[in-house]
Amino acid sequence: MEIINALYPLLRSPKKIVITTHQKPDGDAMGSSLGLYHFLVKMNHDVTVVSPTNWADFLSWLPGVEAVIDFEAKQNTAIEKLNQADIIFCLDFNIFYRTKNVEKYLAASNAVKVLIDHHEQPQVSAFQYGISDINKSSTCEMVYDFIIQSENPELLDLNIATCLYTGTMTDTGSFRFPATSASVHRMVAHFKDMGLQHTPIHEQVYDSFLENRLRFIGHALLNRMDVLYEYNTAVMAISRDDIIKYDIKTGDTEGLVNYLLTIKGIKFGAIVIDRNEERKWSFRSKGDFDVNEFARNHFEGGGHKNAAGGRSSQHLEKTLAHFYEVLPKYKNELE
């Protein structure tokens, strides 16, 4: 994989570009994709953002979101764009399988593939150009660097800043996680100097849910949480019935796992949600416990040291039992 700066000359003439990201895109995935989208459109490229799946309603106000193609809803258009692309940007993921049904089109494509990502253990051989840096707070911050270091940094505008602020905010837990470096705050200062209003962004993302979601969280905390002080661990399992009863949609469970770490002494939080096709795990930790390794070793997943995800094709009870089975192996690390 060549360094990303080697790409700038290629962008001097108009190209057909697709930007894609991981399935069920979060704030960083959508924010970085749309931030880069606005920048490349201003450089006169023909740009399409393809999301492998739908996304949370709390991201549906992002500037440019109406132009994003949901692969599952508009497969033919998405496939056509992927097949015609000269360049495909892959944002906020580093292994093709994270793009669900888009995976096989990425693998088959002859387009120049560009990686911009901050997850552990990238599959660098799959990309011609790119940057992978696990020390970066977010892919949004990396897209900001990409724009600032490009031949056209003056194209940065408020739409781009809004998108990039959103993803940096969500991936840093509102600027509190360890990866929130001085450069993150410098970027935000730059956005503020441009006139960015940050309060409406926080309100759109964190204060725009329906009542049912808050009642669901109450139910989950009261009835679905198990705290294992012996392992400084808390785990939560959400059934299909819970999802149906509270009418839980994409994005409504985002952040639920973080509540587990608010208990004093708890270093490892895990939540499993019974989705239609699979049981989806989210893992979070504080300090040295490496949930990326945990997810890779036991739940076909990965991510970062303190935030990772995984999956299982087993029933909810089975995959939860597996969690309880492997946990004791980590007793020393969790002490």
Check residue 52 for interaction with ligand 5GP (CB under 6 A): no
Identify what 267 binds: ligand 5GP, Mn ion, none; CB under 5 to 8 Å per kind.
none
Instruction: Out of 48, 55, 132, 171, point to the residue binding Mn ion (CB under 5 A).
Output: 171
d(C-alpha 97, C-alpha 121), whole Å: 14
Identify what 303 binds: Mn ion, ligand 5GP, none; CB under 5 to 8 Å per kind.
ligand 5GP
Which among 2-10, 34-42, 124-132, 304-312 is the span making contact with ligand 5GP, rule CB under 6 A? 304-312
Check residue 286 for interaction with ligand 5GP (CB under 6 A): no
Which among 16-24, 133-141, 143-151, 306-314 is the span making contact with Mn ion, rule CB under 5 A? 133-141
If the CB atoms of residues 114 and 256 are measured against ligand 5GP, the closer one turns out to be 256
Which among 6-14, 102-110, 228-236, 303-311 is the span making contact with ligand 5GP, rule CB under 6 A? 303-311
Identify what 309 binds: Mn ion, ligand 5GP, none; CB under 5 to 8 Å per kind.
ligand 5GP
Instruction: Out of 52, 63, 64, 309, point to the residue binding ligand 5GP (CB under 6 A).
Output: 309
Instruction: Out of 4, 15, 22, 274, point to the residue binding ligand 5GP (CB under 6 A).
Output: 22
3-state secondary structure string, the chain?
CEEHHHHHHHHHCCCEEEEEECCCCCHHHHHHHHHHHHHHHHCCCEEEEEECCCCCHHHCCCCCHHHCEECCCCHHHHHHHHHHCCEEEEECCCCHHHHHHHHHHHHHCCCEEEEEECCCCCCHHHCCEEEECCCCCCHHHHHHHHHHCCCCHHHCCHHHHHHHHHHHHHHCCCCCCCCCCHHHHHHHHHHHHHCCCCHHHHHHHHCCCCHHHHHHHHHHHHHCEEEEHHHCEEEEEECHHHHHHCCCCCCCCCCHHHHHCCCCCCCEEEEEEECCCCEEEEEEECCCCCHHHHHHHHCCCEECCCEEEEEECCCHHHHHHHHHHHHHHHCCCCC
Site string for Mn ion, 62-101 (x = CB under 5 A): ------------------------------x---------
If the CB atoms of residues 92 and 120 are measured against Mn ion, the closer one turns out to be 92
If the CB atoms of residues 147 and 308 are measured against ligand 5GP, the closer one turns out to be 308
Identify what 95 binds: Mn ion, ligand 5GP, none; CB under 5 to 8 Å per kind.
ligand 5GP
If the CB atoms of residues 120 and 171 are measured against Mn ion, the closer one turns out to be 171
